[in-house]
């Protein structure tokens, strides 16, 4: 069992599903609102590891969808400044376990890292259902975006 520190946008359905998967696998989830956290560049940068800057962004953020911000054309410094200003731009969730941080919810990465296998049979069915849905975006009725 791991203690998972989970930075989410409170009320985001997919973040809720992701927390359910973690809990079902026996982890202890400590959720924080990503929008209310006091971020610093160093702290955010740490979660991104060596991923390309374009991967740091929440693609469904309004300023990205409108084309005002193009993640492909932004350098790390600018990206971090924008995110401190507007945490909605940060790809969610940010996950920390011990001395490692990850960004986004890649079930394979998490399985290999702390394990996502549910503890009992009923939970396994729930998890499979959840995993078959798209866990990357954020499902809201007013947001219709398809990848």
3-state secondary structure the chain: CCEEEEEECCCCHHHHHHHHHHHHCCCEEEEEECCCCCCCHHHHHHHHCCCCHHHHECCCCHHHHCCCCCHHHCCHHHHHHHHHHCHHHECCCEEEECCEEEECCCHHHHHHHCCCCCCCHHHHHHHHHHHCCCCCCCCECCECCCC
On the CB side of 135, CA atoms within 13 Å amount to 23
Catalytic residue among 6, 7, 12, 93: 12
Task: Tell me how crowded residue 7 is: count the other CB atoms within 10 A of its CB.
Answer: 24
- Decide if 12 is catalytic: yes
Active site residues: 12
């Amino acid at each position: 069992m791991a203690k998972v520190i989970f930075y989410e946008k409170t009320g985001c359905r997919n973040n809720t599903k992701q927390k359910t998967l973690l809990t079902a696998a026996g982890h202890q989830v400590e959720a924080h609102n990503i929008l209310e956290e006091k971020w610093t560049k160093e702290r955010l940068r740490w979660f991104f590891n060596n991923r390309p800057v374009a991967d740091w962004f929440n693609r469904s953020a309004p300023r990205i969808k409108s084309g005002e911000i193009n993640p492909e054309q932004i350098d790390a410094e600018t990206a971090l400044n924008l995110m401190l200003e507007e945490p909605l731009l940060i790809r969610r969730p940010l996950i920390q376990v011990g001395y490692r941080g990850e960004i986004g919810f890649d079930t394979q990465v998490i399985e290999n890292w702390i394990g996502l296998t549910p503890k009992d049979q009923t939970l396994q069915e729930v998890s499979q259902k959840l995993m078959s849905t798209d866990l990357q975006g954020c499902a809201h009725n007013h947001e219709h975006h398809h990848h």
